[in-house]
């Protein structure tokens, strides 16, 4: 006999094997929360749950929600059943404790709380003795382009690499090249950097590449400009987003060299330096130290001018880049009457003020007497209003500078 329509409807409402009913589905809050998180923003049930970019990655918050729901089920009934028994035990313990206190005298019980107030103020006393060091990367922790979390490690790594790139006195084994020729080449490289609007890091790295290449290879003077232009090409590929092409460098050399010569020199420089061209330069350290001193852009530009003046001088090529940058900043701060070497600068630079005094005096002497008047590329560059005309600043008197350095 066929079933009626009502009977068929009753059988279809029963849950099938392997599926849960409404009561079983609501009993699992974790599954329900995960289902809500997977809903699309355009769904009628609502948008997914929002969270911060790097926070709330784990599922620990879900475990806390489940635990908070289970605790009142287990703990609350036990406390209600044992309330009277717990009060009776506590009252008996108080009576026994009073009896024992009357029989025996107190044994050094109040001595323990006296030690706490003595321990607490000790860090406060030490904080007045040790100068505070400012965390200069704290303000940029939220900026993903600043790499503030790794800034200290990066500069410590570069400080360690300085020892690998210490320049010897290579002019002794260069029969056809002198320090004056090197100065003329660097002056021309500064003009190239301005004409191509390259970064300052590119200029500093290119000069380093020239020096380290001449340490290993004996070269003639007619190839010196080829070495300089090729070094700028390599440094541009390392530092610039859009480096100039080979034809641009052939043009600035007035077609004195062919394309094959430039490419061959590029291969020679890279193979001689074993492709290790991440050489520490003072310009990067100078920007870091100026941030420690919270120097203005004008003060930083003055320090950059002093640092760029040393590129032409062969005697400064063998100085440590970090020490040279720190000395340029200290002289700029002194010329601007902005104070001396702070504990923050000492901490991040690794140099004390006394370590920099001899180099600061040499820099002021270089600025005062201008040994290379004919090479004016750097001075002309920093005499522009864009660079605050820092090249026109009057140098300090040597005796006054020495007196200030003694007191700082």
Q: CATH number of the domain at 384, please.
A: 1.10.472.10
Residue 163 inside a domain? The answer is no
Residues 6+ apart with CB under 8 A from 304: 200, 283, 286, 328, 382
Question: What local confidence, expressed as pLDDT, does residue 93 receive?
Answer: 56
Answer with the one of 229, 247, 272 that is the final residue of a domain: 272
Q: pLDDT, tens digit, for every residue of 299-311?
A: 999 999 999 999 9
Q: Mean pLDDT score of the chain, rounded to an integer?
A: 79
Spatial separation of the C-alpha atoms in residues 218 and 272, rounded to whole Å: 12
DSSP state of 221: G
Mean pLDDT, rounded, for 106-122: 46
pLDDT interval class at 49 (50, 70, 90): very low
Q: Does pLDDT of 27 surpass 80? A: no
Question: What local confidence, expressed as pLDDT, does residue 287 receive?
Answer: 95
> Is-contact 62 33, C-beta < 8 A?
yes
* Range with the largest mean pLDDT of 22-26, 39-43, 283-287: 283-287
Residue 191 inside a domain? The answer is yes
Residues 6+ apart with CB under 8 A from 360: 327, 330, 331, 334, 401, 405
Q: Are residues 403 and 289 in the same domain?
A: yes
Q: pLDDT, tens digit, for every residue of 120-174?
A: 444 433 334 446 888 998 888 888 878 888 999 999 999 999 999 999 999 999 9
Q: Are residues 287 and 253 in the same domain?
A: no
Q: Are residues 328 and 376 in the same domain?
A: yes
User: How many domains does one find in the chain?
Assistant: 2
Cβ of 354: how many Cβ atoms within 10 Å?
11
Answer with the one of 247, 272, 297 that is the final residue of a domain: 272
Residue 310 inside a domain? The answer is yes
**Percent of the chain scored above 70 by pLDDT?**
68
Q: Are residues 296 and 366 in the same domain?
A: yes
Q: pLDDT, tens digit, for every residue of 182-238?
A: 999 999 999 999 999 999 999 999 999 999 999 999 999 999 999 999 999 999 999
Question: What local confidence, expressed as pLDDT, does residue 15 receive?
Answer: 46
**Percent of the chain scored above 90 by pLDDT?**
61
| Residue 178, CA atoms < 13 Å, CB-side half-sphere | 2
Mean pLDDT, rounded, for 272-283: 97
Question: What local confidence, expressed as pLDDT, does residue 102 receive?
Answer: 52
- Lowest-pLDDT choice from 8-12, 89-93, 129-133: 8-12
Residue 85 inside a domain? The answer is no
Q: Are residues 241 and 345 in the same domain?
A: no
Q: Are residues 291 and 391 in the same domain?
A: yes
**Dihedral Cα 278, 281, 283, 287, nearest 10 deg:** 70
Mean pLDDT, rounded, for 378-403: 95
pLDDT interval class at 402 (50, 70, 90): very high
Residue 293 inside a domain? The answer is yes
Q: Are residues 398 and 299 in the same domain?
A: yes
Q: Are residues 307 and 339 in the same domain?
A: yes
The candidate with the shortest Cα–Cα distance to 351, out of 267, 289, 265, is: 289
Residue 250 inside a domain? The answer is yes
Cβ of 375: how many Cβ atoms within 10 Å?
17
Mean pLDDT, rounded, for 277-284: 96
Residue 150 inside a domain? The answer is no
Answer with the one of 213, 245, 272 that is the final residue of a domain: 272
Question: What local confidence, expressed as pLDDT, does residue 90 receive?
Answer: 53
Q: Are residues 174 and 228 in the same domain?
A: yes
Question: What local confidence, expressed as pLDDT, does residue 374 receive?
Answer: 86
Q: Are residues 298 and 401 in the same domain?
A: yes
- Against a cut of 0.85, is the pTM above it? no
> Is-contact 48 36, C-beta < 8 A?
yes
Question: What local confidence, expressed as pLDDT, does residue 100 receive?
Answer: 52
Q: pLDDT, tens digit, for every residue of 244-273?
A: 999 999 999 999 999 999 999 999 999 999
CA 305 to chain centre: 24
The whole domain housing 318 covers 282-407
Residue 185 inside a domain? The answer is yes
Specify the higher pLDDT residue, 349 or 103. Answer: 349
Question: What local confidence, expressed as pLDDT, does residue 240 receive?
Answer: 97
pLDDT interval class at 339 (50, 70, 90): confident
Q: Are residues 289 and 402 in the same domain?
A: yes
With H, G, I as helix, E, B as strand and everything else as coil, classify residue 119. Answer: helix
Q: Does pLDDT of 26 surpass 60? A: no
Q: Are residues 226 and 294 in the same domain?
A: no
Q: Does pLDDT of 111 surpass 60? A: no
């Amino acid at each position: 006999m066929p079933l009626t329509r009502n009977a068929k409807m009753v059988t279809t409402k029963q849950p099938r094997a392997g599926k849960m009913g409404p009561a079983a589905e609501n009993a699992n809050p974790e599954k329900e929360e995960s289902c809500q998180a997977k809903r699309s923003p355009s769904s009628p049930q609502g948008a997914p749950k929002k969270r911060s970019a790097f926070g709330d990655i784990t599922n620990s918050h879900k475990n806390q929600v489940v635990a908070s729901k289970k605790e009142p089920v287990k703990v609350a009934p036990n406390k209600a059943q044992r309330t009277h028994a717990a009060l009776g035990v506590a009252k008996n313990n108080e009576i026994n404790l009073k009896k024992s206190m009357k029989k025996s005298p107190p044994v050094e019980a109040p001595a323990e709380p006296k030690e706490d107030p003595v321990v607490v103020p000790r860090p406060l006393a030490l904080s007045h003795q040790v100068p505070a060091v400012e965390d200069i990367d704290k303000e940029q922790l939220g900026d993903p382009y600043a790499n503030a979390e790794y800034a200290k490690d990066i500069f410590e790594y570069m400080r360690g690499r300085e020892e690998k790139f210490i320049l010897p006195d290579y002019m002794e084994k260069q029969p056809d090249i002198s320090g004056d020729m090197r100065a003329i080449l660097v002056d021309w490289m500064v003009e190239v950097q301005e004409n191509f609007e390259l970064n300052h890091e590119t200029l500093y790295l290119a000069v380093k590449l020239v020096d380290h290449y001449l340490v290993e290879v004996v070269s003639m003077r007619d190839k010196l400009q080829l070495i300089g232009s090729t070094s700028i090409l390599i440094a541009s590929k390392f530092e610039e987003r859009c480096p100039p092409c080979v034809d641009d460098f052939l043009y600035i050399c007035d077609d004195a060299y062919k394309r094959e010569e430039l490419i061959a020199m590029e291969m020679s420089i890279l193979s001689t330096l074993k492709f290790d061209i991440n050489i520490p330069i003072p310009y990067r350290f100078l920007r870091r130290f100026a941030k420690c001193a919270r120097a203005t852009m004008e003060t930083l530009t003055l320090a950059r001018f002093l640092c760029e003046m040393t590129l032409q001088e062969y005697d400064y090529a063998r100085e440590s880049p970090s020490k040279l940058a720190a000395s340029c900043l200290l002289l700029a701060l002194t010329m601007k009457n902005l104070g001396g070497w702070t504990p923050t600068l000492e901490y991040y630079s690794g140099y004390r003020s006394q370590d920099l005094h001899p180099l600061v005096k040499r820099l002021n002497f270089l600025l005062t007497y201008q040994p290379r008047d004919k090479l004016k590329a750097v001075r002309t560059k920093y005499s522009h209003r864009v660079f605050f005309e820092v090249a026109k600043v009057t140098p300090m008197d040597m005796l006054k500078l020495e007196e200030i350095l003694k007191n700082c």
